[in-house]
Structure 1
Amino acid sequence: MAQLVRELMTDHPVTLSGDTPVHEAARMMRNQEIGSVLVLDGAEVCGIVTDRDIVVRGLADRADLSGCSLREVCSERLVTASPNEEAGNAIARMREHAVRRIAVLEDGRPVGMLSIGDAAMERDPNSALGTISAAPANT
């Protein structure tokens, strides 16, 4: 039987409003040892922001991020998956769109996040990516 996205994903993704200041999201990422948060417009997922987005779209363009919100630095091109779809299909979509993580949505609401690291730890745990992904965070 094929493996499902729900078997690989990380449950309970962190979500923040698009109006959230970037520095609050960065603090949350640090405290929870995560590299991304989903961005909401009301109850709807409208994007994703990664630690790299904060650097490339935030710090690289501004000396001061105090007035910068997640809406200004997030990726609005969101690739998603269903928790009940075959993991192989979701991973193929990640490859097709060249993204490292996808939001897992059920009835339009976020229920998880699937990363290439999650897939590597499950499917090829002895690979370099699987080993690195399973290691404790460098904090």
Structure 2
Amino acid sequence: MKQLIVPVEEFTTPDPVSIEETMALDELLRLMSDEGFRHLPVMRGGELAGIISDRDVRLFAGMPAAERAGLTAADIMTEDLLTIDASTPLDEAALQMSANKVSSLIVREGDEFLGIFTATDALNALVEVLRGVKD
């Protein structure tokens, strides 16, 4: 079978909804719940500072409200971002996610933040590639 090389950019969620690092945790919980977001990039002064996943949020959601008071996105975000270049082949992106046991990667073109590549994006890519091979 011929190897198909598809850049991750083709299946990246572009310009995802992002939040400021100062957003209160309770507001963040409502946003993720109401809108069904599983990953939110966190911005600081217009620059990407971190990411919050639904897994991160679940760790704090069970805390008593009094203990959650005053917590912000900056308090729970992951700052050690896993990034890939937009031209990275899909298989390499998927392997990086698997090796690091993460459900998203930050996609960049040089220093520019383009979007996020999520497990859902990877599954959509798999379906598209398999359908293309089958046709």
Taking the aligned partners of 2:16 and 2:106, their CA distance within structure 1 comes to: 8
TM-score, normalisation: structure 1: 0.76
1:29 aligns with 2:37: no
Taking the aligned partners of 2:85 and 2:42, their CA distance within structure 1 comes to: 18
1:89 to 84, 88, 92: 92
Number of the residue aligned with 1:73: 76
Q: Which moved more, 1:85-94 or 1:29-38?
A: 29-38
- Percent sequence identity is 23
Deviation at 1:66, TM superposition (A): 3.0
Moved over 6 A (4+): none
Q: Which has the higher helix share?
A: 2
1:59 to 55, 58, 61: 61
Point out where structure 2 has 5 or more consecutive residues left out of the alignment: 129-135
Point out where structure 1 has 5 or more consecutive residues left out of the alignment: 126-139
Q: Do the aligned residues in 2 keep the contact of 1:2 with 1:86 (CA within 8 Å)?
A: yes
Taking the aligned partners of 1:111 and 1:88, their CA distance within structure 2 comes to: 19
**Distance of aligned partners of 1:106 and 1:75 in 2 relative to their CA distance in 1, 3 Å threshold:** same
Q: Do the aligned residues in 1 keep the contact of 2:29 with 2:61 (CA within 8 Å)?
A: no
Alignment RMSD, CA only? 2.0
Letter of the 2:49 partner, please give it. Answer: C
Taking the aligned partners of 1:2 and 1:118, their CA distance within structure 2 comes to: 16
**Distance of aligned partners of 1:108 and 1:24 in 2 relative to their CA distance in 1, 3 Å threshold:** farther
Kindly tell me the number of residue pairs found equivalent between the two proteins: 124
Taking the aligned partners of 1:43 and 1:13, their CA distance within structure 2 comes to: 14
Larger Rg: 2
Taking the aligned partners of 2:92 and 2:20, their CA distance within structure 1 comes to: 29
Deviation string for 1:86-109 (max 9, x for gaps)?
122111111121101111123433
